[in-house]
Amino acid sequence: MTLEQKFHTLVQLVETLGQQARAYFDDNQNTNEQKTDGSIVTQIDKDIEDALVDFIRTEFPDDTIIGEEGEGFVGTSDFVWHIDPIDGTDNFLRRIPFCAISVARLGSTTEDSFGIVHNPITNQTFAALMDNGVYEREHVHVLTDELLGGRAVVSIGRGREQWMKSAAFNLFKAIGTEVGKPMILNCTALELAYIAANRIDGVLNFGEKSYDYAAGLFLVKAAGGQISVFEHNTWSPWIGSLKELCAEHGKTMFISHGGIHTKAIELIGNPRDWSDEK
């Protein structure tokens, strides 16, 4: 198969796995367990990740794999996969239909790279291959600076460190006062896909894992969005590859279209300064 054929086959696989996730979502008898970091994992998380790893190991045997549930592999090629079988697990367990299967293949350039984010409950798939735009079914999204309804909507995603809890709540108030309507939607992959699809305007993210945001970042870049990273006490546009950006967990990022980007990062500054934990 050509790369494009493999990509479309993977999209079909993700959507098929999404049907299994939907069945699990609707079943009242399912159980879950708590991981050592406090997050939740379900059996369907494990099953989906296993199926995706099997596909990658067959079709891209030299690539490195980073999976949320530990199904990793160190390869020899330039490419790294980031897999989150169910991003937004808390929503998924509570039968809130805002969750996603998230898959990204990232190289040093966009050549032969791609990202896929699929909501198994609403059956929405957002996908981008190289620089060919972001597809939602047959529609191609082009990011605009226009504010839907005349106001910005910004989501906040954070990690589990103690200082991040109060920082997120205080930033929630500040963003709501100065930038636009804040939301905490608890599914980073889908929130980023919604930026690419002109549904929300920005995402502030700090302390999360690379598999939470890798595919969504690819979609935003493919749609023409902006990514800034807070490092060395300053915000700077990210000019490197997404592979490099996702090489370590926990990056502090603001992702949006151009209409709100500068105003938002000037307000946010150092997210840790918003914490009550001094």
Please say whether the beta carbons of 192 and 219 come within 8 A: yes
Ranking 2-16, 29-43, 214-228 by mean pLDDT, the lowest is 29-43
User: What is the rounded average pLDDT of the residues 142-161?
Assistant: 91
Q: What is the DSSP letter of 98?
A: -
What architecture is domain 148-274?
A: 3-Layer(aba) Sandwich (3.40)
CA distances from 255 to 189, 248, 252 (A): 12, 17, 10
Q: Which of residues 27 and 79 earns the better pLDDT score?
A: 79
Q: 70 vs 21, 41, 65, 82, 160, CA distance in Å?
A: 19, 12, 9, 11, 19
Return the SS3 of 165. Answer: helix
> What token pair was written down for 108?
């040093």
pTM: 0.94
What residue spans define the domains of the chain? 3-141, 148-274
**What's the count of helices (H) and strands (E) in the chain, helices before strands?**
8, 15
If DSSP codes are grouped into helix, strand and coil, which group holds residue 132? coil
Cα–Cα separations (whole angstroms), residue 43 to 21, 27, 28, 33, 72: 10, 12, 14, 9, 18
pLDDT band at 68 (very low <50, low <70, confident <90, very high): confident
Measured in degrees and rounded to the nearest 5, phi and psi for residue 100 equal -160, 150
pLDDT digits (tens, 9 = 90+) for 21-65: 999 999 876 666 555 555 666 789 899 999 999 999 999 999 999
* Per-residue model confidence as pLDDT tens digits over 169-208: 999 999 999 999 999 999 999 999 999 999 999 999 999 9
pLDDT at 36: 52
Superfamily the domain 3-141 falls into: Fructose-1,6-Bisphosphatase, subunit A, domain 1 (3.30.540.10)
* pLDDT tens string 118-130: 999 999 999 999 9
